[in-house]
């Protein structure tokens, strides 16, 4: 649920007049994304999504995200294409916020991904990595290993409110990952947040990848590890080997993994689990009064982290020697 | 903001299979209405709104609302038309809730209604009243004068939390209205909640009237008084005579008011203000923990009630001798 900024009809009509999209026909706040305000927009030219960027997205990063979507869309990745206004700019301003209009993508999120969905995701993720390989801009991943300890330190003292033993577990895991984090893996643009909410399907075919606002330059295999965590566990947070194998096999058919990537995979999976454990933990403790968003439970990612800690090597995930 | 019940893709596809609307293409929760969960729905057959009825709407009333929309749409009122499933039924069940699909209406709500909008509203309201005159079903208005005292008594003791002197003011107003409420005015189907949120415009033309879930059988002029309260005051809750005159003149050109309706109008306007003052007051005091909806300020309607109390007769509103 995410409509933070309300847009009135007069502002919107004036904004739309700077585009070549015909008259305003309809605009409805939609429950999509958690970082921004999103609207379904219908104009004389068709259907679009209007996004207003809220404070959590740094305005200086917006050109990276918008150029990336344009770059990927031009290479056949089914992602939203930013629409340029009459001055040739994708980024505008509406209701005091940076704002863009992007193309509307049909498709719907899958609540219970099956093996076929995981396979489709693996193939699309590999295609995204290949399509982004010649993208010239770079963006540091602020939520990688260097960022985790400072993030946890902002509220480490309250860890026992969430789970018994959590503080010691996270401290030990940070020690482990800081010592063992792989540094020289093949890298480039990654999505970094490709959860089921951000992937649209029509049947078993992927029709859209959305929400590129965590995209950054990092190891490709780390993106794969994020997807494994998000897609290949059941509702009780138990790893599903057939889904994991489908994801990884489909990925490797399009972008083969190096032996270094395979060797590092359990560490990457632990890191990916810790990253979402920590951000959910911080959000959980910092729900603002009157918030219209319910935070997600960090303990889901604690369970996933524990699973990966028990993995001796990448064979657990169906890859490696 | 109103998406209370989440619908997953599997349930939705199964539900849609009972309709002749083609495959599911997209479904997004939208911030429309406060009583129900609403989704923008795109299928092979076009765009629709999917509504899931939450607890506040009595299931037994749904046939009244759905039959009314069908009746009005057949007579040229631009309201959503319930879509029937393959069994010929408009009312289905989804995610444990009564659910309907209605046609999608283009248009957008006006945040700052001007005189032309008030005139368009007056004409459309009169047309709605005439179109509903031969609607056979009846539904009592549970939020008319008989309902106000019992509603207030549920939390009268907390009135001073909202405004100094509120309890005495409401008690006196209830006494006045119960003694003076007009009983024999021309009656029929009224919308009873035709706020700017529920009226879509394309330019100065009305393209849709939505949210019929307070519709009931009551005095036509009371519906007009509700609209006057909702449309003809400025942001500081000051009455705008030019907007009021535009609303009433446009209405009377299509459905003339009787002398009894004109004489009763100040009383109806007081009652309409008290009705929304009371429901907002009760909602204000009863925000459930974790609610995703912010209640509206009841004091807006206290100011409007005070204005109407000062009206000597209907000439204040530009009608009457």
ipTM: 0.90
The CATH number given to whatever domain includes residue B97 is 3.30.200.20
pLDDT in 10s for each residue of chain A, 321 residues: 456 678 899 999 999 999 999 999 999 999 877 678 899 999 999 999 999 998 878 899 999 999 999 999 999 999 999 999 999 999 999 999 999 999 999 999 999 999 999 999 999 999 999 999 999 999 999 999 999 999 999 999 999 998 999 999 999 999 999 999 999 999 999 999 999 999 999 999 999 999 999 999 999 999 999 999 999 999 999 999 999 999 999 999 999 999 999 999 999 999 999 999 999 999 888 876 655 567 889 999 999 999 999 998 999 998 875
Which residues in chain A are closer than 8 Å to B9, comparing Cβ atoms?
108-111, 201
Q: Which residue of A has its CA nearest to B292?
A: A292
Contact between chains at A202 and B25 (C-beta distance less than 8 A): yes
Percent of chain A scoring above 70 in pLDDT: 96
Nearest CA in chain B to A201: B25
Task: Of B43-57, B77-91, B176-190, B225-239, give the lowest mean pLDDT range.
Answer: B43-57
Is residue B42 situated within a structural domain?
Answer: yes
Residues B133 and B237 in one domain: yes
| Rounded Cα gap, residues B101 and B52, in angstroms | 9
Taking one residue from A and the other from B, the number of pairs with CB-CB distance under 8 angstroms is: 84
CB A185, CB A261: distance < 8 Å: yes
Minimum Cα–Cα distance from A38: chain B residue: B30
Nearest to A108 among B26, B31, B292 (CB): B26
Interface of B with A (CB under 8 A): 1, 3, 8-10, 12, 23-32, 40, 42, 47, 104, 106-112, 200-202, 290, 292, 294
Same domain, B37 and B126: no
Of B8, B26, B40, the CB nearest to A107: B26
Q: Which of A9, A24, A47 comes nearest B111 by C-beta?
A: A9
- Domain boundary (B56, B75, B103) is at B103
Domain final residue pick, A82, A103, A124: A103
At residue B4 the predicted structure's pLDDT band, cuts being 50, 70 and 90, is: low
**pLDDT at residue B148 greater than cutoff 80:** yes
Say if residue B218's pLDDT is above 60: yes
What's the mean pLDDT in B106-114?
A: 95
Structural domain harbouring A20: 9-103
The pLDDT confidence band at residue B1, using thresholds 50, 70 and 90, is very low
- B156-182 pLDDT, tens digit per residue, is 999 999 899 999 999 999 999 999 999
Asked if residue B71 and residue B129 are part of one domain, the reply reads no
Is there a single domain that holds both residue B23 and residue B137? no
pLDDT digits (tens, 9 = 90+) for B185-214: 999 999 999 999 999 999 999 999 999 999
Q: For residue A3, which residues of chain B lie inside 8 Å, CB to CB?
A: 1, 31
Residue with token string 């509903």: B132
Mark whether B125 and B273 lie in a shared domain.
Answer: yes
Together in a domain, B41 and B156: no
C-beta atoms of A28 and B32 within 8 A: yes
Asked if residue A109 is part of any domain, the answer here is no
Q: Check whether residue A222 and residue A168 sit in a common domain.
A: yes
pLDDT of residue A274: 98
Which candidate from B1, B24, B108 shows the least CB-CB separation from A3? Answer: B1
Q: Which chain A residue shows the shortest CA-CA distance from B291?
A: A292
Same domain, A132 and A217: yes
**Residues facing residue A200 across a β-bridge:** A208
Q: Are residue A70 and residue A146 in the same domain, yes or no?
A: no
Within 8 A of B289 by CB-CB distance, chain A residues are: none
User: Given this model, what pLDDT does residue B321 score?
Assistant: 56
Interface test with A, best of B10, B26, B199 (most A CBs within 10 A): B26
Instruction: Assess contact for A155 and A287: CB atoms under 8 A.
Output: no
Do residues B255 and B153 both lie within one domain? Answer: yes
- Does residue B5 or residue B96 have the better pLDDT? B96
B239-256: pLDDT as tens digits: 999 999 999 999 999 999
Question: Which residues from A are below 8 Å from B when comparing CB atoms?
Answer: 1, 3, 8-10, 12, 23-32, 40, 42, 47, 104-112, 200-202, 290, 292, 294
Nearest CA-CA distance, residue B12 and chain A, Å: 10
User: How distant is the Cα of B183 from the closest Cα of chain A, in angstroms?
Assistant: 40
Return the CATH number at A119.
Answer: 3.90.1200.10
Helices B259-285 and B145-153: angle between axes, nearest 10 degrees: 20
Instruction: Give the model confidence (pLDDT) of A144-174 as tens digits.
Output: 999 999 999 999 999 999 899 999 999 999 9
Beta-bridge mates of residue B189 = B217
CA distances from A170 to A180, A238, A302, B214 (A): 15, 20, 9, 53
Q: What is the DSSP string of A126-187?
A: HHHHHHTTT-----B-TTSHHHHHHHHHTTGGGGGGTSTTHHHHHHHHHHHHHHH---SS-E
Instruction: Indicate the burial class of A3 (C-beta count within 10 angstroms; 0-12, 13-18, 19 or more).
Output: buried
pLDDT the model gives residue A1: 43
Q: Kindly give the interhelix angle for B115-131 and B220-231, rounded to the nearest 10 degrees.
A: 160
Q: Considering its fold, how many domains does chain B have in total?
A: 2
Gap between the Cα atoms of B292 and A3, Å rounded? 11
Query: Do B53 and B26 contact (CB within 8 A), yes or no?
Result: no
pLDDT at B281: 93
Q: Which of A44, A74, A103 is the last residue of a domain?
A: A103
Residue A143 lies in a domain: yes
Q: Which residues of A touch B23 (CB under 8 A)?
A: 202
pLDDT value of residue B279: 94
Assign B293 a pLDDT band (cuts: 50, 70, 90). low
Does A4 reside within a domain? no
Structural domain contains residue A67: yes
Do A23 and A154 lie in one domain? The reply is no
pLDDT of residue B292: 56
One-character DSSP codes across B236-264: T--B-HHHHHHHHHHHHHHSPPPHHHHHH
Q: Identify whether residues B166 and B190 lie together within a single domain.
A: yes
pLDDT at B2 over 60: no
**pLDDT value, residue A154:** 92
| Residue A206: inside a domain | yes
Question: Nearest-CA neighbor of A273 among A230, A242, A236, A313?
Answer: A230
Average pLDDT, chain B: 94
Residue of A nearest to B44 (CA): A106
pTM of the model: 0.91
Does A254 reside within a domain?
Answer: yes
Residue position matching structure tokens 């319930």: B82
CA distance B234 to chain A (A): 16
Residue B219 contacts residue B185 (beta carbons within 8 Å): yes
Q: Taking CB atoms and an 8 Å limit, are B31 and A202 in contact across chains?
A: no
Whether B290 shows a pLDDT value over 80: the answer reads no
The reply to whether residue B8 touches residue A42, judged by beta carbons under 8 angstroms, is no
Name which of A1, A27, A45 to mutate to probe chain B: the one with the most chain B Cβ atoms within 10 A of its Cβ: A1
Predicted confidence at residue A288, as pLDDT, reads 66
Domain annotation covers residue B2: no
């Amino acid at each position: 649920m995410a409509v933070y900024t309300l847009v009135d009809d007069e502002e919107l009509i004036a904004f739309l007049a700077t585009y070549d999209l015909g008259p305003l026909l309809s605009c409805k706040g939609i429950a999509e994304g958690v970082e921004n305000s999103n609207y379904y927009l219908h104009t004389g030219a068709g259907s679009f999504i209007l996004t207003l960027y809220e404070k959590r997205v740094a305005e200086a990063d917006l050109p990276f995200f918008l150029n990336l979507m344009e770059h990927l869309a031009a290479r056949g990745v089914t992602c939203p294409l930013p629409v340029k206004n009459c001055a040739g700019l994708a980024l505008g301003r509406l209701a005091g916020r940076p704002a863009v209009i992007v193309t509307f993508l049909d498709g719907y999120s899958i609540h219970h991904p099956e093996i076929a969905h995981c396979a489709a995701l693996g193939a699309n993720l590999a295609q995204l990595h290949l399509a982004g390989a010649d993208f010239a801009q770079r963006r540091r991943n602020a939520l990688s290993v260097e960022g985790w300890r400072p993030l946890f330190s902002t509220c480490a003292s309250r860890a026992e409110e969430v789970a018994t033993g959590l503080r010691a577990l996270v401290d030990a895991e940070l020690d482990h990952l800081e010592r063992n984090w792989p540094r020289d893996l093949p890298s480039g643009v990654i999505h970094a947040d490709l959860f089921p909410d951000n992937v649209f399907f029509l049947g078993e075919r992927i029709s859209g990848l959305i929400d590129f606002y965590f995209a950054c330059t990092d190891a490709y295999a780390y993106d794969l590890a994020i997807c494994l965590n998000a897609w290949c566990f059941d509702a009780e947070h138990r790893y599903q080997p057939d889904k994991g194998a489908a994801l990884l096999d489909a990925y490797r058919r399009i972008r083969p993994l190096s032996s270094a990537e395979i060797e590092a995979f359990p560490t990457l999976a632990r890191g990916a689990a810790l990253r979402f454990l920590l951000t959910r933990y911080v959000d959980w403790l910092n729900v603002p009064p009157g918030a219209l968003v319910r935070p997600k439970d960090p303990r889901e990612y604690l369970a996933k982290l524990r699973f990966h800690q028990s993995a001796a090597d990448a064979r657990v995930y169906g890859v490696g020697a």
